[in-house]
Amino acid sequence: YRVEKGNHRHFMAKEIHEQPEVVGRTLAHYVDLANGRVALPEALPFDFKDLSRLSITACGTAYYAGLVAKYWFESLARLPVEIDVASEARYREPPLDTAGLTLVISQSGETADTLASLRYAKSQGQHTLAVVNVPTSTIAREASAVVPTLAGPEIGVASTKAFSCQLTVLLCLAIAAGRARGTLSAERERELVDALITVPGLMADATKLEGEIELLAREVSKARDVLYLGRGTSYPMALEGALKLKEISYIHAEGYAAGELKHGPIALIDESVPVIVIAPHDAIFEKTVSNMQEVAARGGRIILIGDAKGAAAAGLDTMATVTMPDLDPVVSPIVYAVPIQLIAYHTAVFMGKDVDQPRNLAKSVTVE
């Protein structure tokens, strides 16, 4: 069927704004609201408690969703995770034992490298699980089990709502794994579910920052290079922020683990390089503050995406602060996806780029 843009200028804008709804729908599928626990409707042909290792493969934005999930599976379920881009995993031919699970993540379910890595995992006798948005896709058909994202058709080439739905499903899976492996108390599960339930509303609040992000984007559009920094789950979010910006605005952008700043990218910093720091007020926030101080000391212009508590604690002169709502840091990637996407979107629109059909990129890469 035909998908329309409605009142939006671009599909990408429509899809960013749809996120509270589609993340809500995805949550409703995986969360038993009455009992405050995760309940997966899909039968899984393995038990999380028997798994020796989780191997994640994906491409592009789906890969960054997987990288966030690595932190969640390790911390909530104490499950060892390895992750690689599918184009490497498929040729690396990693040793995979039969007690392991391979998890592939794909919006389209047709990405050639991701499909090949799934087939390789099956050939090694692994359990396979796919997080996909297109239920009739090849990956959905070939994986031993599928947990769908309920994002609806995504038209914009740069993934937005599929990404936040992937994160939502992956966090639900990590919670289910934590319960099965006895590493997550019922009380903590309930807290996490309570936090998850607030996510669609918090995402809607985040879209209200659009006016100020649009102004900020005018500054970003003047840059030749942009650096994104984050720690913990905000590190893959920095990688995703940089990917989004380069995909649609063609500005060179790099995401870095904030702690790696001193091992290279600090050499690039001067007043012409905006440094976008993704930093909710979490357990490692203070560490990120010291990285921001290093940037500020070299005349770098910081754009902080954080919460009011963090901004006050950091006490730094920033070029701009995008003040996000307070939340349980575990769910921050899902909510922080919104300003990250809006910065890229408005920068590209301001520069007159075709955000729905960026040059040289395809929505789904079905050839090598």
Active centre residues (catalytic): 363
- Name the one range near ligand G6P by CB under 6 A: 3-11, 105-113, 189-197, 297-305: 105-113
- Name the one range near ligand G6P by CB under 6 A: 156-164, 168-176, 193-201, 207-215: 156-164
| Residue 159 in the binding site for ligand G6P (CB under 6 A) | yes
| Residue 107 in the binding site for ligand G6P (CB under 6 A) | yes
- Name the one range near ligand G6P by CB under 6 A: 18-26, 58-66, 140-148, 276-284: 58-66
CB-wise, 65 or 216, nearer to ligand G6P? 65
Tokens standing for 218?
């005018």
Tell which one of 62, 69, 239, 344 touches ligand G6P (CB under 6 A).
62
**Window 114 to 143, contacts with ligand G6P (CB under 6 A):** 114
CA angle 344, 15, 108 (to 5 degrees): 100
Tell which one of 59, 83, 151, 277 touches ligand G6P (CB under 6 A).
59
In the 3-class helix/strand/coil scheme, how is 198-245 assigned residue by residue? HHHHHHHHHHCCHHHHHHHHHHHCCCCEEEEEECCCHHHHHHHHHHHH
In whole angstroms, how close is the CB of 33 to ligand G6P at the nearest point? Answer: 28
Say if residue 203 is exposed, middle or buried (CB neighbours under 10 Å; 0-12, 13-18, 19+): buried
| Residue 149 in the binding site for ligand G6P (CB under 6 A) | no
Residue 350, classed as helix, strand or coil, is: helix
CB-wise, 206 or 243, nearer to ligand G6P? 243
Site string for ligand G6P, 335-364 (x = CB under 6 A): --------------------------x-xx
Tokens standing for 267?
């050499």
CB-wise, 171 or 216, nearer to ligand G6P? 171
Distance CA 197, CA 199 (A): 6
Q: Which helix (H) or strand (E) holds 51?
A: none
| Residue 245 in the binding site for ligand G6P (CB under 6 A) | no
- What is the spatial order of strands in the sheet that 320-324 belongs to? 252-257, 225-230, 274-279, 301-307, 320-324
| Residue 332 in the binding site for ligand G6P (CB under 6 A) | no
Q: Which residue's entry shows tokens 């493969």? A: 57
Q: What secondary structure does DSSP assign to 126-192, as a single string?
A: -EEEEEES-TTSHHHHHSSEEEE-------SSS-SHHHHHHHHHHHHHHHHHHHHTT-S-HHHHHHH
In whole angstroms, how close is the CB of 99 to ligand G6P at the nearest point? Answer: 26
Tokens standing for 167?
């994160």
Go through the chain and tell me how many residues it has.
Answer: 368
| Residue 3 in the binding site for ligand G6P (CB under 6 A) | no
CA angle 93, 95, 98 (to 5 degrees): 125
Tell which one of 26, 55, 87, 111 touches ligand G6P (CB under 6 A).
111
Phi, psi of 113, deg, nearest 5 = -65, -40
| Residue 103 in the binding site for ligand G6P (CB under 6 A) | no
* Residue of minimal Cβ distance to ligand G6P: 60
Tell which one of 26, 108, 128, 288 touches ligand G6P (CB under 6 A).
108
Binding-site size, ligand G6P (CB under 6 A): 16
Q: Binding residues for ligand G6P, per CB under 6 A? A: 59-62, 106-108, 111, 114, 157-159, 361, 363-365
